[in-house]
Amino acid sequence: MSALRTKAIIFEEVGKAVVGEIDLPEPTADDLVVETEASGVSVGTERWAYIGKRAEMTFPFVPGYMGIGKVIEAGKKAAECGYVEGQRVNFSRSRVLPPYDGSWMSTHLARAVVNVNYEYSPDALDVHGCVPVPQGLSAREASLTGLCAVALRGIEMAGIPVGAKVLVCGLGLIGQYAAQVVRLKGAQVCVAEVNESRLELARNLGADWAVNPAQQNLAEVQQEIAPPGFDIIIDTSSVPEVVNGLFPLLRHRGKFVFQGWYPPPSAIDINAIHSVMPTCYFPCSHNDSCVSAAMRWAAEGKLNVASLITHLVSPAEAPQIYRMIEQNTEDFLGIVFDWRGEQR
């Protein structure tokens, strides 16, 4: 294997994204060299990183954790794991050299060195590394299934049963996916969102009830459709004022999934939820099995990804895209960088 130089999106400093070239490490026997086709943007995580609110990340670094690409070289040990040249893979991180290695992300780049022989200690978080992409699934759709996997981890933790009545609050990508997966599991879902276009999309994708809390009283709707309270509430908003208003809508001894990322310090009112005596879940990240399941559902037509994509753009547009995300200057949902024109 040979040393590589590649184009990459780089967060140089707080509030500054650029497209540049970086050197990649010499691939080892455990590595794949992947030619990236598409990489999806995790709007929440990458926005927090871009504005400097993720303390575990140090500038400069290559963002992104949802890359799709074709294997162009496979190291000996990687090949022994079943990876072959020409195979398409979904990878969540890659190896990059200092000074661009200041985060656990790194998939927004034209070529990637991906270690597939990773092992986790018993105390480590089980997270997605690299898995094959099923036949028939486009790169742009596959690149956003990682966020479905994030939703799926929380849903699996909560153990949502058939027939349960579930409220999903917030209809970004994770909320949209959560609503779809809850219905795939046989539950009924009510979605809540103040953005009308996102609310209409969820209706079109099968939500049983759709509520705009700015126009309807969510508590009154809950009394109509789930008088004892919702069996499960999934919050993706991460807004303390919103979260605090959800607790009274949960039935006694129900389940609450804190599906968002809640920047410290938090103004969440623990006392408000205390009297409901719920079981609370705090999912983090996603793993290989959830990513594989999400891609399989998408390939089989059970999960709608295409309707969630609002921006398919060149990596050269990254500076404008991240400014748009930070400033919320236009309506957006799923954002995908198309790398096929960036190969060297």
In a shared domain, residues 194 and 221: yes
Domain contains 257: yes
Say if residue 129 is in the same domain as residue 173: no
DSSP one-letter code for 124: S
Q: What is the pLDDT of residue 125?
A: 76
The answer to the question of residue 326 being in a domain is yes
Same structural domain, 172 and 46: no
Q: Count up the domains in the chain and report the number.
A: 2
261 lies in some domain: yes
Q: Are residues 193 and 266 in the same domain?
A: yes
Same domain membership, residue 214 and residue 156: yes
CATH number of the domain where residue 119 is located:
3.90.180.10
What is the per-residue pLDDT for 199?
Answer: 97
Which pLDDT score, from 0 to 100, does residue 283 have?
A: 94
From first to last of its 344 residues, the chain has per-residue pLDDT tens of 445 799 999 999 999 999 999 999 999 999 999 999 999 999 999 999 999 999 999 999 999 999 999 999 999 999 999 999 999 999 999 999 999 999 999 999 999 999 998 766 566 678 899 999 999 999 999 999 999 999 999 999 999 999 999 999 999 999 999 999 999 999 999 999 999 999 999 999 999 999 999 999 999 999 999 999 999 999 999 999 999 999 999 999 999 999 999 988 999 998 988 889 999 999 988 999 999 999 999 999 999 999 999 999 999 999 999 999 999 999 999 999 999 977 54
Q: Are residues 121 and 8 in the same domain?
A: yes
What is the CATH number for 218?
A: 3.40.50.720
Q: How far apart are CA 216 and CA 201, in angstroms?
A: 18
- Domain span at residue 71 reads 4-139+305-338
Predicted local confidence at residue 126, as pLDDT:
85
Is position 300 within any domain?
Answer: no
Q: Is residue 62 part of a domain?
A: yes
pLDDT at 120: 61
Q: Is the CB of residue 192 less than 8 Å from the CB of residue 216?
A: no
**Does 297 fall in a domain?**
no
pLDDT for res 119? 67
Where helices occur in the chain by DSSP H, the ranges are 43-50, 76-80, 139-142, 145-158, 173-184, 196-204, 218-225, 240-246, 270-274, 288-299, 318-327
Q: Which alpha helices (H) appear in 160-305, and where do they start and end? A: 173-184, 196-204, 218-225, 240-246, 270-274, 288-299
Give yes or no: residues 198 and 80 share one domain. no
Do the Cβ atoms of 332 and 325 come closer than 8 Å?
yes
Give per-residue burial for 202-211: e unless 16+ CB within 10 Å, then b.
beebebbbbb
Residues in the chain: 344
> Does 213 lie in the same domain as 122?
no
For residues 274 and 163, state if they share a domain: yes
The answer to whether residues 64 and 132 belong to one domain is yes
Question: Quick one: pLDDT at residue 1?
Answer: 42
d(CA 170, CA 158): 18
The overall pTM is greater than 0.85: yes
Same structural domain, 162 and 99: no
